[in-house]
Amino acid sequence: MPFLPVDDQLEIISKGTEEVIPLQDLRHKLEFSIKKNKPLVIKLGCDPSRPDLHIGHSVVLQKLRDFQDLGHQAILVIGDFTAMIGDPSERNKTRPQLTLEEAKSNAESYIEQSKVILDVKTLKVLFNSTWLNKMNFSDVIKMSSKYTVARMIERDDFTKRFESKIPISMHEFLYPLAQAMDSVEIRSDVELGGTDQKFNLLVGRDLQREYDQEPQSIITLPLLEGTDGIEKMSKSYDNYIALDDSPEDMYGKLMSIKDSMICKYYKLAVFADKEKVLSVENQLKDTSINPRDIKRDLAKDLVARYYDKDIALKAEQAFDQIFVKKSIPDDISVFILEEDSTILEILMSESLIESKAEGKRLIGQNAIKIDGEVCSDPGHIFSKGSGDLIVKVGKRRFLKISG
Amino acid sequence: MPFLPVDDQLEIISKGTEEVIPLQDLRHKLEFSIKKNKPLVIKLGCDPSRPDLHIGHSVVLQKLRDFQDLGHQAILVIGDFTAMIGDPSERNKTRPQLTLEEAKSNAESYIEQSKVILDVKTLKVLFNSTWLNKMNFSDVIKMSSKYTVARMIERDDFTKRFESKIPISMHEFLYPLAQAMDSVEIRSDVELGGTDQKFNLLVGRDLQREYDQEPQSIITLPLLEGTDGIEKMSKSYDNYIALDDSPEDMYGKLMSIKDSMICKYYKLAVFADKEKVLSVENQLKDTSINPRDIKRDLAKDLVARYYDKDIALKAEQAFDQIFVKKSIPDDISVFILEEDSTILEILMSESLIESKAEGKRLIGQNAIKIDGEVCSDPGHIFSKGSGDLIVKVGKRRFLKISG
C-alpha cells in the first residue's frame, strides 16, 4: 500500500491530539518513510497490572489505529517487567506485583479487549521483560548516567512530592528510564500516550538520543474524565465505561455523565468530526433543547461504535424501561391489596388524593401513571395476584400496590 | 586469643576517632562477641582507582589494625565493581574506568602498600564485583526501593550541587547503595571510613536494616590535610606523603608542612599519645623553641614509624645536606673556570663584590660559603676539574663555579 502524502497523514495524525513534539521532526520522519517506502514504528506502552480497558483508553488506541490505517507499524509494548516487580516499597497500592502467568494472561486480555479498536493482525506485541530482564547492575548504571536527578525531579508528581516532603523511593526514578529503554530497544519513531505520560515519553526521547538514535516524536492525547466528570477515567474510581461493557451498561453509564462533559465525550469517546462537535455545542446553547436528548444521541452513537445501530436502539429502550423504575424513590409506601379495588378508592385511602374529584381531574390531565403508562380510566381496578405495580400521581407522589 | 574486656577494647577503638555511631550498639556487639567468642567483622572499603596509599590513609588503616590486634576480623572490600564502570557520564575525571587487570593489579598494590600497617596474614580481601556483578535490573530496583531520593540528596555534596543546579547524574545515586550492599553482603558489624565517608557508611547501616540485618556501627576518622595544610591529602593535589616514600622524601615532605599542622600530624601521622601531644602543644607555645626543631623531631618519628630510628637519623642528615642546596635560587649565574683562579678574583670579575677589600671583610665575617661550608681563606683557589661549586656571598648573592 502506498503511503498517503505527508500533509494528509499529518492531518489524520494530529486530529484530536494534545501535543505533537516536535511536529517538524514527525514531518521529516513521514517524508523519509515515504521516500524509503518504510513504515514508521509507533510505540504504545501498556501496563498489564491494569488490564481493564475502557473508553478512556480508546483515545490512544484509536490514534494507534489511525497510524495502522496509514500503513505504519504499531507496537504494543507490554510493561510486564515492572508489573512483575510491583512496588517493592509497598507504598503504592495501585501497583500490585504480578506473577509471570498473571502478566501474560493480563496482556492477552488487554489485546483481546483492544481488538474492537486495533487491527490485531498487523499489531506487533512485545514484552519489555525480554530486554529489561537481561540488564545487569552495570547496564543500569550506564543507563542512569544518561539522565540527571534534577530532570527526573522535574516530573510534575515528583516535584510535588519532593516539595511536600512525601517520600519518593529511589526505584521510582528507575521506572521512567526502564520504559524509556523500551523506546531504545524497539527504535520507535513515534510514541503515543495520555497527557499524563508526557514526561515519560520525553525521557524515551532523551534516552534514544543518548544511545545515538534518532529521538522519537511524541504524541500526547487528552485524558477523558470518567462518568463523574472529575477524575481521570479508571476502574479504581468506578467511573469508567469498559470497552467490553454490555450495550445496556454502556448506554446507561453514558447517560450518567454531566451535561458539561457532553462535548468532550463527543470528541474523545465517539471521535465525532468538527462539524458534529460544533453542532452539538450549538444545541447545548439552545435552551429549547433538553441536554438529556443530546446525551441520548451520544449514548446511541457510543453503543453503535462498539456494537451497531440496532443494538444501540435496543439499549435505549432498555434504558428507558429501567430509567422509569429508577426514577421511583426507594422509600415509597406500599398498599397491600386485600380485595379488588378501584384506583381512586386506593389513592383516597392512602391520602394520595384528597377526593375522587381530584383523582378524576388528574386522570383527565394524564397525571396518573401505572408502571410508567398513563392511566386514563378512573374506574381502573386492581386485582389480587397482579403483583407489584407502581402508581405515580403528579410528579412526586408514589404508591406501590402489592396485589 | 581471649578478647580484652569491653571497656579496654572501647578505649582503644575510640582513640583518635571522630565519631562512633552508635557507641551503645558497638558496646553490645563487643559484649556479644566476647560471650560467643566470635570476632566482629570490620569492613574497610577501598577504591582501586586510587591505589597510591599515603599517610592520610594510615588513619583508617591503623584503626583497622587496632581491631586486628584486638582479635577481630578485618575485611578489605576492593571496590572494583564501580572502578571498572568508571563514570559513564565522563563528568568526573577523578574516576577513570579500569580494566579487570588494572583493578586486580591496583588492588594488589594497595594490599602491598598497606602491609606496613595491616596484619595481612589475617586480613580478608574481597572484591565487590563478586556480588554486585550478579545483580540484575530487578535486584537493583529492589535495592533502590529501600532508600528515598530525599535522603540521598541530603548527602552534603549532593545538596550543594542540587542547590547550585550542578547536574547530578542518576547513576551517582546508585554508587552509595552499591557500596552499602557490600555491608549487606559481608554482614559487617563495624565499618570504618574518613569523615567524608560518613554518609555512605550510614547508607550501609540503613540498607542492612532493610535487609533484616543488625545494622553496622560506623566509625569515622579525621581527615589528614596534605602537606599544604589546605586540601585533604591526595596524590592529585601533590600534597601527599606516600606510605612507600623513601626515608629522605618522607622526612623532606614532612618538613614542608606548616607549623599549625604539627599537632595534627603528631596525632594522625605518628599516632602520638595524649601526653606527647600535650607536650608538643606546650613546646609550640614556648617562643624560645623554634617550631622547625619540633618538626624535625616529628619528621624523625614519622620515618622511624615506617623504617627505623637509624634510618630516620640518616634521613635528617641527608635533608640538611639537601636543604642547603635547596636554599639556592634556580637562576644563579655560572662562571666557567678556564684557569685556576682565586675566589676574590672570580667574585670581582662577576661583580659579586666591588673590591677585594670588601671580599676580605666578608670572609672575616664568615659571610662567604662554598657549598655550604664557610670559606676562611681569601686566597682560596678554584682549580679546573673540581666540578660545580656554589659560592654564597652574604645572604642573597650566589655564583656557580663550573670547574
Q: Which residues of A touch B207 (CB under 8 A)?
A: none
Q: Which residue has the cell 520504559?
A: A179
Instruction: Tell me the angle at which helices A174-186 and B137-144 cross, rounded to the nearest 10 degrees.
Output: 160
What 8-state DSSP symbol labels residue B98?
P
Chain A interface includes B35 (CB < 8 A): no
pLDDT at position A403 is 78
CA-nearest residue of chain B to A87?
A: B145
pLDDT at position A88 is 67
Listing DSSP states for B281-299 in one string gives: HHHHH-TTS-HHHHHHHHH
What 8-state DSSP symbol labels residue B196?
G
pLDDT at position A326 is 58
- Considering CB atoms only, which of A84, A137, A148 is closest to B169? A148
pLDDT at position B292 is 87
- Evaluate whether ipTM surpasses 0.85: no
Q: Measured between alpha carbons, how far is residue A373 from residues A36, B144, B277 in Å?
A: 67, 66, 107
Give the separation between CA A380 and CA A343, rounded to whole angstroms.
6
Tell whether pTM > 0.80: no
Q: Please report, as a single letter, which amino acid is at residue A392.
A: K
Chain B interface includes A170 (CB < 8 A): yes
Residue by residue, what is the 3-state secondary structure of B46-82?
ECCCCCCCECCCHHHHHHHHHHHHCCCEEEEEECHHH
Give the separation between CA A218 and CA A60, rounded to whole angstroms.
12
| Angle made by CA atoms B218, B221, B226, in degrees to the nearest 5 | 150
What's the gap in Å between the CA of A2 and the closest CA on chain B? 42
pLDDT at position A324 is 61
What's the gap in Å between the CA of B273 and the closest CA on chain A? 45
pLDDT at position B88 is 67
Q: Which residue has the cell 512483575?
A: A84
CB contact (8 A) between residue B173 and residue A173:
yes
Interface with A, mutate which of B97, B141, B153 (most A CBs under 10 A)? B141
Chain A interface includes B211 (CB < 8 A): no
CB contact (8 A) between residue A135 and residue B139:
no
User: Which residue ranges in chain B fall short of pLDDT 70?
Assistant: 1, 87-96, 322-331
CA-nearest residue of chain B to A140?
A: B137
Instruction: Tell me the angle at which helices B291-306 and B309-326 cross, rounded to the nearest 10 degrees.
Output: 130
Please write the tens of the pLDDT for every residue from B292-316: 899 999 999 999 999 999 999 999 9
CB contact (8 A) between residue B174 and residue A144:
yes
Stretch (H or E) spanning A318: helix A309-326
Q: Measured between alpha carbons, how far is residue A63 from residues A18, A164, A172, A217, A354 in Å?
A: 12, 36, 28, 14, 62
Residue B320's nearest CA partner among B259, B258, B371 is B371
Chain B interface includes A136 (CB < 8 A): yes
Give the separation between CA A212 and CA A215, rounded to whole angstroms.
9
Q: Which residues of A touch B171 (CB under 8 A)?
A: 140-145
Reported in sequence order, the residue ranges of B162-266 that DSSP labels E, i.e. its strands, are: 190-194, 217-221
Q: Phi/psi of residue A190, each to 5°?
A: -140, 135
CA B247 from centre of chain: 15
Confirm if A170 and B149 have CB atoms less than 8 A apart. yes
**In the structure grid, which three cell numbers stand for residue A21, read together?**
513534539
Chain B interface includes A174 (CB < 8 A): yes
What's the gap in Å between the CA of B210 and the closest CA on chain A? 10
Confirm if B59 and B16 have CB atoms less than 8 A apart. yes
Chain A interface includes B103 (CB < 8 A): no
Chain A interface includes B132 (CB < 8 A): yes
pLDDT at position A93 is 53
pLDDT at position B18 is 95
Give the separation between CA B9 and CA B27, rounded to whole angstroms.
9
Chain A interface includes B81 (CB < 8 A): yes
What's the gap in Å between the CA of B177 and the closest CA on chain A? 10
Average pLDDT of adjacent 10-residue blocks, chain A of 403 residues: 91 94 95 96 92 92 97 96 74 67 89 93 95 94 92 90 90 94 98 94 96 96 90 85 92 90 93 92 89 92 94 90 65 84 91 89 89 86 84 83 84
What's the gap in Å between the CA of A159 and the closest CA on chain B? 11
Give the separation between CA A140 and CA B169, rounded to whole angstroms.
12
